[in-house]
C-alpha cells in the first residue's frame, strides 16, 4: 500500500510546505506530485494532505507517514547500499563445504584467489562428504558444495535435482603399495593380482568404489584396516600392512616416500564438481567462488601425476 516514492513525496511536502516546493526539491513536476499524493490517498483510503490555497499541510495520517518516512527511507537507502556492495563484490559472503581430500588441494587455492581478489567478501569453509554437503546446500546451510562421484557410483537424479553442477576435474585413482611389494616395479597393476592382499579402506563411498572394482576383477577384497584419514592410509601401506586405492589429489598433497604409487589397469577415476543452486549462481560472491574453484582445479590438472 505504501511505496518508497510516496513516502519521499509526503516527507518533502512536510519539509517544504507546498506541492510546488516539494516538486522542486525532488525534481518532479507539480502535477506529478499531486498525482502521486492522490494515488497514495486512494490506496490508504484516507486524506493525507489538506489544501489551503497555495499552501498545503498534512493531515494526522499524513503526519504519521512523514514521521516514519525518515526511518523507512533510511533503511531502504542502507539496504540499497548493502545490496550494491554485494553486487559489486565490495561485501557479501560465501559458505563453502567440500570433501576432506580436497581440503589441502583445491580448497586452499580457491579460497586464496577469492580473498585476494575480493578481500571484503566473507568466506567460510567446512568439510563434508558429498551426501552431507549436498544436504547442507539443499537446506540453505552452505552456498557451494565441492563433491565427487566414482565411476559406477554416480549420484542419483534425486541427489542432484534442482542443482547447478560445474565440472572441475577428473581425479585419477591409483594403487598404493609398500616399496617392497612384488608388484612395486610394474608399470601398472591389475587389481586381480591383489586378490589375496589385505586392503585399507575409508569412507562408505570410497569403499563402494573399491568393492565395485574388485568385483569387476573377480574377487572380494579383504578389508583389514579402516580409516578415512588418507595420511594414515599411506602410513599403513608404508608399514606393509595392506594396499589401498588413493586419488591423485591426496597423493599430490601428502606423498609418502615409502609408498609406491602405480596406475591401475583398467584405469579408474572420480569426477569432482562444484554444486550450487540456480538462484545462487546469480550471486556475485558465489559465482566468484565457483570461478576460483575452476581455476584451482585447472592448476591441479596441469600438475604431473605423482611418481
pLDDT in tens, 47-79: 999 887 777 889 999 999 999 988 888 788 778
pLDDT digits (tens, 9 = 90+) for 102-128: 888 899 999 999 999 999 888 999 999
Q: Average pLDDT for residues 125-138, to the nearest whole number? A: 89
Specify whether the CB–CB gap between 144 and 290 falls below 8 A.
Answer: yes
| pLDDT tens digits for range 191-235 | 999 999 999 987 666 788 888 899 999 999 999 999 888 889 999
**Whole-number pLDDT of residue 291:** 96
Predicted pLDDT at 61: 92
Q: How far is CA 19 from the centre of its chain?
A: 51
pLDDT band at 131 (very low <50, low <70, confident <90, very high): confident
CA–CA distances in Å: residue 39 to residues 9, 44, 140, 198, 277: 12, 9, 40, 81, 40
d(Cα 271, Cα 166) in Å, to the nearest integer?
Answer: 11
> Where would I find the beta strands (DSSP E) of the chain?
49-52, 55-58, 93-98, 122-127, 144-150, 164-178, 189-190, 198-201, 222-226, 244-247, 259-276
Percent of the chain clearing pLDDT 70 (strictly above)? 93
Query: Which pLDDT belongs to residue 207?
Result: 80
Query: Is the preceding omega at residue 266 within 30 degrees of 0, hence cis?
Result: yes
pLDDT at 100: 85
- The answer to whether 306 touches 248, Cβ cutoff 8 Å, is yes
Please say if the pLDDT value at position 3 is more than 90. Answer: no
Question: Residue 225, by phi and psi: left (phi above 0), alpha (psi -120 to 50) or beta?
Answer: beta
**Please, which contacts does 247-250 make with residues 24 or more away whose CB atoms are closer than 8 Å?**
247/101, 247/171, 247/172, 247/173, 247/174, 248/171, 248/172, 248/173, 248/174, 248/305, 248/306, 249/101, 249/102, 249/105, 249/106, 249/171, 249/300, 250/101
- Does the pLDDT of residue 250 top 90, yes or no? no
143-196 pLDDT per residue, tens: 999 999 887 665 554 567 779 999 999 999 999 999 989 999 999 999 999 999
What is 85-120 written as a DSSP string? HHHTTSS-EEEEEE-GGGTTTHHHHHHHHHHHH-TT
0.75 exceeded by the pTM? Answer: no
Q: What is the dihedral sign for C-alpha 38, 43, 47, 49? A: negative
pLDDT score of 81: 72
At residue 302, does pLDDT exceed 70? no
Region 34-46: what's the mean pLDDT?
92
Average pLDDT over residues 129-146: 90
Alpha carbon distance 238, 79 (integer Å): 58
Tell me the CB-side half-sphere exposure of residue 11, using CA atoms within 13 A.
Answer: 17
pLDDT for residue 301 = 65
Span of 4-13, 150-159, 178-187, 241-250 with lowest mean pLDDT: 150-159
Cell numbers at 274, concatenated: 562444484
Amino acid at each position: 500500500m505504501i511505496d518508497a516514492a510516496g513516502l519521499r513525496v509526503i516527507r518533502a511536502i512536510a519539509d517544504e510546505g507546498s506541492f510546488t516546493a516539494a516538486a522542486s526539491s525532488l525534481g518532479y513536476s507539480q502535477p506529478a506530485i499531486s498525482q502521486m499524493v492522490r494515488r497514495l490517498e486512494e490506496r490508504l483510503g484516507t486524506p493525507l494532505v489538506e489544501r489551503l490555497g497555495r499552501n498545503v499541510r498534512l493531515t494526522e495520517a499524513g503526519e504519521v507517514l512523514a514521521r516514519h518516512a525518515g526511518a523507512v527511507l533510511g533503511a531502504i537507502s542502507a539496504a540499497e547500499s548493502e545490496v550494491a556492495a554485494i553486487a559489486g563484490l565490495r561485501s557479501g559472503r560465501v559458505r563453502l563445504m567440500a570433501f576432506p581430500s580436497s581440503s589441502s588441494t583445491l580448497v586452499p587455492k580457491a579460497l586464496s584467489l577469492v580473498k585476494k581478489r575480493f578481500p571484503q567478501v566473507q568466506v567460510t569453509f567446512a568439510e563434508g562428504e558429498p551426501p552431507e554437503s549436498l544436504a547442507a546446500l539443499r537446506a540453505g546451510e552452505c552456498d557451494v558444495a565441492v563433491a565427487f562421484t566414482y565411476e559406477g557410483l554416480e549420484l542419483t537424479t534425486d541427489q542432484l535435482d534442482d542443482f547447478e553442477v560445474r565440472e572441475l576435474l577428473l581425479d585419477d585413482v591409483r594403487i598404493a603399495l609398500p616399496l617392497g611389494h612384488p608388484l612395486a616395479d610394474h608399470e601398472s597393476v591389475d587389481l586381480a593380482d591383489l586378490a589375496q592382499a589385505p586392503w585399507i579402506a575409508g569412507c562408505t563411498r570410497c569403499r563402494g568404489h573399491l568393492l565395485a572394482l574388485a568385483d569387476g576383477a573377480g574377487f572380494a577384497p579383504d578389508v583389514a584396516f579402516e580409516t578415512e584419514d588418507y595420511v594414515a592410509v599411506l602410513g599403513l601401506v608404508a608399514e606393509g600392512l595392506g594396499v589401498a586405492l588413493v586419488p591423485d589429489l591426496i597423493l599430490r598433497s601428502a606423498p609418502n616416500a615409502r609408498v609406491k604409487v602405480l596406475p591401475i589397469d583398467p584405469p579408474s577415476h572420480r569426477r569432482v564438481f562444484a554444486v550450487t543452486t540456480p538462484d545462487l549462481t546469480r550471486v556475485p560472491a558465489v559465482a566468484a567462488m565457483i570461478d576460483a574453484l575452476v581455476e584451482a582445479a585447472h592448476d591441479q590438472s596441469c600438475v604431473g601425476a605423482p611418481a
